[in-house]
Amino acid sequence: MSTRNNRLMRSIQHTPEATERTRVGLIGDPVAHSFSPRLQQAAFDALGIPAHYELWHTPASQLLERVRALCSKEYLGANVTIPHKQAVIHLLDKIDPLAERIGAVNTIVHRNDYLYGYNTDALGLLYALREQGLGTLQPDGQVSLKGHTALLLGAGGAARGAAFALASAGVERLIIFNRHLERAQLLAADVQQNYDGAVFSLNDANFLIPHSSSIIINATPVGMHEDISPLEPEVLARFDSDTFVYDMIYNPTQSYLLCQASIMGLRNANGLSMLLHQGALAFTHWTGEQAPLNIMRATLI
């Protein structure tokens, strides 16, 4: 398994002072749709950790103020979601090497008076895909996606974690499809630095070549608020029957993209499994404790 996949695993550290802090929450805009409070609160309660998980709706103009507040001694840290995963990096004291390479942070830990940034989306996605029966689990616990082509929709914070994870899992080729082509090109160039497979960037679906054994991953919010898809049904219909469609969106539980995939008989799953695994990894960063995965999973049913 590649060194980069190993680095994903090594980024977990312990936080012995975690139980002294009681406030943790989700920074983003929007946040009301999030299942993170129920997921994380169940885990804190199960381990008897007196922390409370909150929703912190934070427009871009208030991001600095919100992150600064985390330096107060009652804060354990935070999760970061749309659209702040890239912008928040510059507001933190220390960035984990993996998160730095990815260029996106979704977990902040308040430790020793410093704010540390981590990325758990990357490994969380790989665990989620494995749970859906994709790829193989190597003897060292790493996930391999050799033989697959990944079509990644989006090039924002979550997509950056996904792109690095998919490359580290050894996909044959990675196609990044994004509304703004420059952003896809930038991400492609970053991933290509340590990846032997081919990376393509596109913003026109007419140029999309459907490869067999494709994994299509939606890392855009398109479909969260309206019945629209980030990939036209006519384009999706061109893919082979062995294609798997994964939508990071989990609320609604079946996005328009997943409805279309089901109608076409394609295997598919929503983002609940990724939410679970990225959340479990974040929990370990905050507390130094192994996350009670089954208890957390039960909150999502």
List contacts with ligand NAP (CB under 6 A): 81-83, 85, 121, 154-159, 178-180, 183, 219-222, 224, 230, 248-250, 271, 274-275, 278
Q: What is the DSSP letter of 36?
A: H
Taking each helix axis from N to C end, the angle separating 272-287 and 121-131, rounded to the nearest 10 degrees, works out to 130
Fill in the amino acid letter for 120. T
Q: What is the DSSP string of 52-104?
A: EEEEEE--GGGHHHHHHHTTSTTEEEEEE-TT-TTGGGGG-SEE-HHHHHHT-
Measured distance CA(170)–CA(159) in Å, rounded:
17
Measured distance CA(52)–CA(36) in Å, rounded:
12
Residue 3: CB minimum distance to ligand NAP, A? 25
Please state whether the peptide bond connecting residue 221 to the residue before it is cis, i.e. omega within 30 degrees of 0. Answer: no
- The residue (of 266 and 281) whose beta carbon lies closer to ligand NAP is 281
Residue 285: CB minimum distance to ligand NAP, A? 15
Measured distance CA(223)–CA(235) in Å, rounded:
16
Residue 17: CB minimum distance to ligand NAP, A? 27
Q: What is the DSSP string of 167-181?
A: HHTT-SEEEEE-SSH
**Residue of 54, 36, 38 lying closest to 46 (CA atoms):** 38
Catalytic pick among 73, 85, 94, 146: 85
Residue 218: CB minimum distance to ligand NAP, A? 7
* CB-CB neighbours of 44 under 10 Å: 22
Q: Which residue has its beta carbon closest to ligand NAP?
A: 156
Residue 20: CB minimum distance to ligand NAP, A? 28
Q: Is 37 exposed, middle or buried (0-12, 13-18, 19+ CB in 10 A)?
A: middle
With contact defined as beta carbons under 8 Å apart, do 225 and 82 qualify? no
Residue 116: CB minimum distance to ligand NAP, A? 19
- The residue (of 21 and 130) whose beta carbon lies closer to ligand NAP is 130
Active site residue 73: no
Residue 278: CB minimum distance to ligand NAP, A? 5
- The residue (of 19 and 202) whose beta carbon lies closer to ligand NAP is 202
Report CA-CA distances (Å) from 190 to 86, 155, 168.
14, 12, 13
Residue 92: how many CA atoms within 13 Å on its side-chain side? 27
- The catalytic residue positions are 85
